[in-house]
């Protein structure tokens, strides 16, 4: 089943490489929600995501011919998305007026009352940010958070993650190691139930 879907994506990407816009729209439809969710998980900034999805898809359009087929299409697309997300966050961090994106305990909505209030999805995104776990994840660096999400949410192997983030496998393991320690500090309830037995 998953293999079938992967083959479909590869076929679409090949057509995109030949400048087929119908195929591109097909790929866009397949990836829009996936990319949106993933980019939000990495950046945790709803107001960036819409534009980032388009940045990623534009890169897919221009780069499709360079896809070498050594990874899955989704791994390649997520790799592009990861790097675009980090760049966007770095740009924001470099802007003097911007508040630090990570490592602050203050709930986001108190700092950014106006951001994307009109958009219906911002309600959901803010709920995700507001939970205890959401806040804990928000305190990780984007690099660490990406590894956590790719492992636990997307259930990828460390090998695939290393391809996506463009780092050696050991770096992936180290990031996860530090993220685990941090999350454990912030979520003292984790694992408590299992200790009884």
Partner 1 sequence: MEPQPPSARREHLHQRVWQLLPWYANGSLAAPERRTVEEHLAACRACREELAVCRELARAVTGLGEVAPSPHPVQLARLLSRIDAAEERPRPLAPRLLAAPRALRRGAATHLAATPRPVRTLLAAQLAAIALLGAVLAGLGAGSRPARPTASAAPAGPPLYRTLSEPAPARPPAGVAAGAQLRLVFAEAATEGEIRRVLESVRGQIVAGPSPLGTYTVEVPRGRGADPLEVVLAHLRTRREVSFAAAVAGSEDR
Give the helix, strand, coil percentages of the chain, each rounded to 5.
Answer: 75, 0, 25
181 binds partner 1 (CB under 8 A): no
Q: In this chain, which stretch among 3-11, 81-89, 93-101, 175-183 interacts with partner 1, using CB under 8 A? A: 175-183
Pick between residue 93 and residue 139 the one whose CB is nearest to partner 1: 139
Tell which one of 111, 166, 184, 185 touches partner 1 (CB under 8 A). Answer: 184
- For partner 1, which is the closer residue by CB, 111 or 173? 173
Site membership for partner 1, residue 26 (CB under 8 A): yes
By the rule CB under 8 A, 137 interacts with partner 1: yes
- Tell me the C-alpha distance between 81 and 141, whole Å: 16
Q: Does 32 bind partner 1 (CB under 8 A)?
A: yes
Q: Give the Cα separation of 162 and 172 in Å (integer).
A: 6
Integer CA distances (angstroms), 173 to 27, 64, 111, 143, 188, in order: 31, 30, 33, 12, 22
Per CB under 8 A, contacts with partner 1 among 109-128 are 120-121, 124-125, 128
In whole angstroms, give the CA distance from residue 142 to residue 63. Answer: 25
What Å distances lie between residue 167 and 84, 90, 102, 143, CA to CA? 15, 18, 21, 11
| Site for partner 1, rule CB under 8 A | 19-22, 25-26, 28-29, 32-34, 36-37, 40, 50, 53-54, 57-58, 61-62, 120-121, 124-125, 128, 131, 133-134, 137, 148-149, 151-153, 155-158, 160, 173, 176-177, 180, 183-184, 187, 190-191, 193-195
């Amino acid at each position: 089943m998953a293999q079938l879907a992967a083959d479909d994506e590869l076929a679409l990407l090949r057509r995109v490489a030949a400048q087929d816009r119908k195929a591109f729209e097909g790929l866009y439809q397949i990836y829009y929600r996936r990319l949106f969710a993933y980019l939000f998980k990495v950046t945790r900034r709803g107001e960036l995501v819409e534009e980032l999805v388009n940045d990623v898809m534009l890169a897919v359009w221009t780069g499709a011919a360079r896809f070498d087929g050594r990874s899955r299409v989704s791994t390649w697309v997520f790799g592009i998305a990861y790097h675009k997300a980090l760049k966007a966050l770095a740009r924001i961090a470099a802007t003097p007026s911007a508040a630090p994106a990570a490592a602050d305990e203050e709930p986001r909505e108190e700092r950014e009352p106006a951001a994307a209030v009109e958009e219906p999805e911002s309600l959901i995104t803010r709920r995700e940010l507001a939970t205890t776990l959401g806040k804990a994840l928000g305190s990780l660096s984007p690099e660490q958070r990406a590894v956590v999400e790719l492992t636990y949410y997307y259930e990828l192997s460390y090998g695939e993650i290393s391809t996506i983030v463009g780092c050696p496998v050991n770096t992936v393991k180290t990031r996860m190691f530090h993220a685990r320690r941090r999350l454990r500090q912030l979520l003292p309830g984790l694992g408590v139930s299992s200790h009884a037995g």
